[in-house]
Amino acid sequence: MDEVSQRPEISPSQGTGVDWAALEAAAVSAMKNAYAPYSKFAVGAAALTSDGRIVSGCNVENASYGLTLCAECSLVGNLHMTGGGLLRAFYCVDAGGNILMPCGRCRQLLYEFRAPDMELMTTQGIKTMDQVLPDAFGPQHLEEPR
């Protein structure tokens, strides 16, 4: 890893068929639309869907703070607004273009909409959803409707 930028060394697809550079660019572009007047902490996220689309989102703050939407929330909204599907790969950045890890709430949100073997770019390189949210609770644990 490059000591100066704290960015993992990766090739564009790193053998997974994911264009990580395109996801990074989409996350940076989304971050520029963030509404962060209170924290001044703009965040952008982008994901590759299982059908090859790139969806993105940015954080949208609220004066009550608790109603703030993380970038992952608007990304999932974008996913559903553009046809639904499952997320195959994910990338999140701050205003400086630094890689961010989703918070616990957002990891759970991403887990709900993940494709099998979904990957995330992390400060430590590419990891699977199972690595960043092991033993997760999901829809498969709920009782079948009667």
Taking the C-alpha atoms of residue 42 and residue 28, their distance in angstroms, rounded to an integer, is 10
Name the token pair of 56.
């993105």
Active-site residue flag, 72: yes
CB burial readout 87-126, b (16+ within 10 A) else e: bbbbbbbbeeeebbebeeebbebbbebbbeebbbbbeeeb
Q: Is the pLDDT of residue 36 over 70?
A: yes
Q: Which of 24, 72, 112, 119 is catalytic?
A: 72
Mean pLDDT value across the chain: 90
pLDDT digits (tens, 9 = 90+) for 7-22: 555 544 455 789 999 9
What count of residues does the chain have? Answer: 146
pLDDT tier for residue 143 given thresholds of 50, 70 and 90: confident
Segment 84-122, tens digit of pLDDT: 999 999 999 999 999 999 999 999 999 999 999 999 999
First and final C-alpha spacing in the chain: 52
Q: Where are the beta strands (DSSP E) in 8-145?
A: 43-49, 54-58, 87-94, 114-122, 125-128
